[in-house]
Amino acid sequence: MRFIKQKAVFMIYLTLSLLFTIYLMPAAAQEVEKACCEQSNSGDTCLYTETQNCDNNYRIGNFQKCEDTSFCKVGCCVDKDGGSCSKSTSKATCEAAGFDWNSNTDCSQVKECDKGCCVLGGASCAYNTERKCDAILLDYPELVKDFRSAETELQCSNICREADKGCCVQSTNEDCIWTSRVSCGLDDGVGLEGFYQDISCSNTNLKCEQCRPKYTKGCLDGTEDVYWFDSCGNPEGIAEDCDYAKGTLCGETEDKEFVCKSVHCSDTWDNPVVDGDGGTRINGESWCEYDGAIGPTLDLPGSRHSRHICINGEELVEGCKDFREEICIQADVYEEFSTGVIESDQGLTSSIKGEFLFSSAGCRDNRWKDCTTTCNTANEKTDANEIKIAIQLDKKCCERSDIRDCVWNGDEETGICIPLHPPGFKFWATDVVNILTTDITTQTITEDKCSVATKSCTTVFTKMIYTNWEWACMKDGNCECYDDDYIESQNNYCRSIGDCGAHYNYIGDFTNNGFTRVWDKGYQGWDIIFDRAQSFQTSYYNKESKEPKITVDKDMVGAFEEVWQNADSSVYVKDVINPDTKQAQIGIGVATATITLVTGILKAVGGAAAKSAAAWIGPIGVFVVAYFLLTEIALRKYEKRTVQTTCGVWQPPSGGYNCEKCNGEFSVCSEYKCKSLGANCKFIEENEGTARDACVNADPNDVTRPQIKPWKETLEIKNRNLDITFDYNIVESQTSYTIAGKKIPAFSSVTFGIETNEPSNCRLDTELKQTYKDLSLRFNEEYYDSKHNFTIRNLIPATDYKYYIICKDTNDNPKDEEPTAPYVVEFSTDNSPDLEPPRLISASVPDLGYVSAKANETNLRLLIDEVSPFGCKASKEDTSFDQMQMNMTCLAMPQNSLFSEYAECQIQLPVTIGQNIYYFRCRDEPENSQIRNENSESYIWRATKAEELYITAASPVGKIYDTNVTLQVSTTSGPQDGKAICYFDNIEFFETNASYHTQILSGLTKQDYSYRIECKDVANNKAVTQIDFTVDLDLEPSEIVLLHRSGPNIILNLNEDATCEYSTEDFIYGEGTLTGTSTKIHSVYPDMLKEKFSFKCKDKYGNLMQSVIYTKIDIKPSI
């Protein structure tokens, strides 16, 4: 802008000076001595005038016109900052303005003055220099630089006109299409064929009578309004004006009508297991959904966390990683906003304003692994003091919620650390084949994970006279290990590890195969329990005689509704008894036992005798009692017995009756979810994420093989790319069908298909074989499905084709080696002659492709469409087949081939830096010159050997104070100026396939991160680097460290830089009076204050500090 102003002043001056010069040239004055002034007394530059008018501090060219001086000769004046160039400008004038001068008068040889097209937002095109384009963009930081080559201003203008929209009228096929100017490819029309900018195709002035106006309504990509469309499907005008800013957007109703719909979700999924969900959600709002209750011991096998989000009125589902590798975290906040209209069952409500609950959710890693290992060391100790210390350390480890997702269950002396969200495990066996012996074994890796919760409880039994010499569990001998509460608590611990123990799956089917309790032989139930610390009457007591439970009942876990519902309620975990921390009590002193026994005996006598025991115990009595006690003590026996609870992998219910429930309205079936529904449920991996059944019942009692019939709709017959299917029909029987009508032309292609009554995997062959494993070919689809098709190309002349087909279902019916009558499909070909030469289809390195910078030669493979014998050659020159010197090695397909594939030729070609060009031709029937067909034109192949690819920048590095980080990588060189695809730890960047690559990482925790970066370009050049950084989070708000008066002002000093506001009333941050931006010191003026004011600050990490300051109490004058 500065240069434009200076240039304008200069031009005004130049015009006036010329007029002035002309005015001063009467004939009488021609003899006055003149010179060229570098600068005149009036400040003008390069002025040819009388010598006395020149400023003597500058150069003067006596008797010289300015164009003849070295300091005022004309050239090109370049404003490098502004990007402008001025032709034929004097050197002194240019330099006085602060610009660069070049002797090239018309600026044609000055690189900085080369013009191109500066495209601004795709809508405005300016023909100027690249520097000028940069200067313009300084005023528009939101625009990305787009500078293109253009020779003329018209070419530049046409670049922006390419995006013009209008009706393209084509006379060749009588089409009228609303499209862009560049897609149309025609000049502006005048009544007939051509492009008609901003004119609807239904306009009566155009030759588009077939396009009736306002035929239907719909949405137009990239817009928010409802549009009219003509009968040709072209958009016309706006039918209904939607306003995204006010909450409406074009959308389709359930009645298939297009209207302005609310961008909010009026009726989201009401999950029966989560309270408070469903109903209306705001556009952009996200929330968590679960398959059941969540929390310690509660996450169910097969269940998965998911994030739902409302986007433009549509509820979308983002599943967190399966096996609960990720968990969904939700935050609910209240915000003030105006939402616009929201649909409800009663129609449209008024705008919602004011405070409203807004949820935000995300999936993040489930950090559970330390819970059962690092934070569970007490179970490795044996000494009581060591156990006590270990438990204290385990508890501190467990409660580090900043780095792990664990919860401490129990008290400080006997508690245990368990995962906050039990992970999912692979609870089914996997066949492992020994490649040396071919022996097959099954492996379940999960066993080791669950076995952490396998525990042994040591119990103490005694046998003596008062137990009638029967073994009885001592009260302090861990007798509760035989109780139902114990097996229940141990199963809770088992379940807390993951998919272990006795539990429900996510739809409510209970199994207990994963948890058992065993004990040493000889325990006879709860008949007698001896308590040596109490009297005789209570030393033994009877319970109902029953055997301890070996497995866990459904009642112990709770009704399914209890563990399935209330998924968002507070988690309550039943106590988990940790047998590693319980010590059986054996060694109480004999004296205590003696006193207790004597008292017990006396109490057994009863009545007054007991009360006056001391009165009658004389010397003889003491002797008798002492003898009795010594005898009992000598004969009493103790025994340690073990009760073991075994935590194994949770097992799915038998059968497969619920397999079809895997796919839900808002969930995607996975192998993990499918396997949890039943032991016979089989997951079809290739059907994952499709509308096809992905989970089927592999019922072992199913012995019925799939039933086959023709798939008539898929039949397609093409001869030289012409569809001739309509000439044929299908004649079927119970075991076969024939493509009938007439013989199919030779060298045509045929696609035929079959349907089965259940998902099946089918094979076929051209020879009669009666076992599935012997069939050689697969259909086009290699997955279990109910529809299958097969394509054959280049049919051989005069041939009867028969294809024998056997299909098997997901339950392996029929078995691979079971004799089975195949289904047959047959057709015949005519004897049409081969009149076409071999056709080159494609090359392994595409034409105009690239070769790696490190390659000196490339192995090129060509696919050839030819069934007769043939040969191919290559040459550096475009010449005839016989003149080509380089023979190719070709692999022809046999005429009776089972496979519908192309023939192949290959050759090793030398490549050098730059573009390499080769020519190829082929000829069939090389041994028979009478019927051979030869290419009359060469197949041209061009490939460029490119430069190496380099990574020139990779970030971030060092410390990052944010939970959201963007990986950034820049690449240069290579065949496409740095364009490549980059990966971090073998995961493709979100934004890549360019020279700048980005990947957003969200919700990072405080730790070190390291990523291997690898980039590859189209020439297979590779560049590798490493990104290392540390996330160091600041989650604390600012603090006021000093508050004082300074003259009339109140000064607040913070412990960190922050942006602060204040108000005499409570306020929302962002609406107060600003006191300072990103600074530690803030000043408030008391003349605007009352007795108190609210002071709020937000640091650069978004942490908000809120304080209320009482001006007459809190603030002291500075000293």
Alpha helices (runs of H) in 619-731, residue ranges in sequence order: 619-635, 671-676
Tell me, yes or no, whether 874 and 935 share the same domain: yes
Task: Please indicate whether residue 902 or residue 145 has the higher confidence score (pLDDT).
Answer: 145
C-alpha angle 524-526-532 in degrees, rounded to nearest 5: 110
Which range, of 88-92, 100-104, 117-121, 581-585, averages the lowest pLDDT? 581-585
Residues 863 and 772 in one domain: no
Indicate if 722 and 799 belong to the same structural domain: yes
Helix, strand, or coil here: 829?
A: strand
Average pLDDT over residues 173-192: 84
Average pLDDT estimate for 66-79: 84
> Could you give the CA distance from residue 821 to residue 804 in angstroms, rounded to a whole number?
9
Choose between 351 and 1021: higher pLDDT: 1021
Q: List all residues 6 or more positions away from 497 whose beta carbon is below 8 Å from its beta carbon.
A: 372, 418, 419, 422, 449, 450, 452, 453, 647
How confident is the model at residue 1061, as a pLDDT?
92
Using CA atoms, how far residue 911 sits from 333, 940, 976, in Å, is 63, 15, 18
pLDDT over 50 at 346, yes or no: no
Give the range with max mean pLDDT: 223-237, 526-540, 836-850: 223-237
What domain count does the chain have? 10
Question: Locate tokens 């809508």: which residue?
Answer: 123
The long-range contacts involving 41-50, CB below 8 angstroms and separated by at least 24 positions, are 44/13, 44/17, 45/72, 45/90, 45/92, 45/93, 45/96, 46/71, 46/72, 46/90, 46/91, 46/92, 46/93, 47/17, 48/21, 49/21, 49/24
Residues 1018 and 1104 grouped into a single domain: no
Mean pLDDT value of segment 1002-1010? 85
Strand-by-strand arrangement of the 34-39 sheet: 45-50, 34-39, 60-62
Q: At what angle do helices 590-605 and 619-635 cross, to 10 degrees?
A: 120
Given a cut of 90, is residue 1102 above it in pLDDT? no
- The answer to the question of residue 183 being in a domain is no
- Alpha-carbon dihedral of residues 594, 595, 598, 600, nearest 10 degrees? -110
Tokens 């009219």, located at residue: 228
345, 278 Cβ separation under 8 angstroms: no
Answer yes or no: do 619 and 475 share one domain.
Answer: yes
Q: Are strands 100-102 and 74-79 parallel, antiparallel or unpaired?
A: antiparallel
CA–CA distance, 563 with 292 (Å, rounded to integer): 7
Q: In terms of Cα–Cα distance, which of 631, 667, 726 is closest to 507?
A: 667
Are 1018 and 1050 found together in one domain?
Answer: no
Digit-coded pLDDT (tens) for 640-690: 677 888 888 888 887 788 998 887 777 778 999 999 998 889 998 888 877
Say if residue 521 is in the same domain as residue 622. yes
Pairing of strands 472-474, 503-504: unpaired
In a domain, 254, yes or no: no
739 pLDDT more than 90: yes
Please give the average per-residue pLDDT across 616-627, as a whole number: 45
Q: Where among 327, 350, 366 does a domain terminate? A: 366
Spatial separation of the C-alpha atoms in residues 1111 and 1049, rounded to whole Å: 11
The CA distance from 766 to 25, in Å, is 107
Strands (E), 571-666: 637-647
Contacts of 339 (CB under 8 A, 6+ apart): 247, 264, 282, 283, 351, 352, 353, 356
Decide: helix, strand or coil at residue 953: strand
* pLDDT per residue as tens digits for the range 879-917: 999 999 999 988 766 555 555 567 888 899 999 988 999
Torsions phi, psi for 859 (to 5 deg): -90, 105
Cα 672 from Cα 229, distance rounded (Å):
46
Same domain for 924 and 865?
A: yes
Domain boundary at 801, 828, 855, which? 828
Would you say residue 287 lies in a domain? yes
User: Per the domain annotation, does 700 fall within a domain?
Assistant: no
Which of helix, strand or coil describes residue 1056? strand
**Does residue 50 fall inside a structural domain?**
yes
pLDDT confidence band for 479 (50 / 70 / 90): confident
Alpha-carbon 422 to chain mean position: 23
| Antiparallel, parallel or unpaired: β 515-519 and 637-647 | antiparallel
What pLDDT sits at residue 1015?
95
List, in sequence order, every residue forming a beta bridge with 1031; answer none if it has no partner: 960
Q: What is the DSSP letter of 809?
A: E
Q: What number of other Cβ atoms are within 10 A of residue 901's Cβ?
A: 11
**Token pair belonging to 181:** 């100017």
Chain CA centroid to CA 318, Å: 9
Whether the CB-CB separation of 508 and 652 falls below 8 Å is answered with no
Q: CA gyration radius for the chain?
A: 44
Angle among Cα 362, 570, 336 to the nearest 5 degrees reads 50
pLDDT in tens, 535-591: 222 222 233 334 555 445 545 445 444 444 433 333 333 445 454 544 433 332 222
Q: Rounded distance, CA 808 to CA 961, Å? A: 58
Other Cβ atoms closer than 10 A to 887? 12
More confident residue, 888 or 1064: 888
What is the pLDDT at residue 566?
39
* End-of-domain residue from the set 1031, 1057, 1074: 1031
Domain check: are 456 and 572 in the same one? yes
CA torsion, points 653, 656, 660, 664, in degrees to nearest 10? 10
State in Å, rounded, how far the first CA of the chain is from the last one.
52
Query: Which pLDDT value is given to residue 446?
Result: 55
Residues 526 and 572 in one domain: yes
147, part of any domain: yes
**597 shares a domain with 488:** yes
Q: Average of pLDDT values for 586-601? A: 27
Mean pLDDT of 137-149: 82
Contact 744, 729 (CB under 8 A): no
Q: Give the whole-angstrom CA distance, residue 791 versus residue 772.
A: 20
> What does pLDDT average to over the chain?
78
Q: What is the pLDDT of residues 209-234, one digit of tens each?
A: 889 999 999 999 888 999 999 999 99
For the chain, give the number of residues: 1119
Q: What is the mean pLDDT of residues 87-111?
A: 85
Among candidates 816, 805, 814, which has minimal Cα distance to 767?
805
Q: How far is CA 41 from CA 47, 53, 58, 68, 766, in A?
A: 10, 6, 10, 21, 104
Given the DSSP bridges, would you call strands 729-732 and 800-809 parallel, antiparallel or unpaired? unpaired
H/E stretch holding 397? helix 384-398
Residues 396 and 417: beta-carbon distance below 8 Å: no
User: What CATH number corresponds to the domain at position 931?
Assistant: 2.60.40
Query: Are 1005 and 1062 found together in one domain?
Result: no
* Strand-pair category, 722-723 with 681-683: unpaired
CATH number at residue 969: 2.60.40.10
SS3 714: helix
The pLDDT of 611-638, averaged and rounded, is 49
Residue 249 maps to a domain: no
The answer as to whether 785 is a domain residue is yes
List the one residue out of 926, 927, 860, 868 whose CA is nearest residue 893.
Answer: 868
The residue-averaged pLDDT of 1062-1089 equals: 83
Range of the domain at 797: 708-828
- Rounded to an integer, the average pLDDT of 102-122 is 85
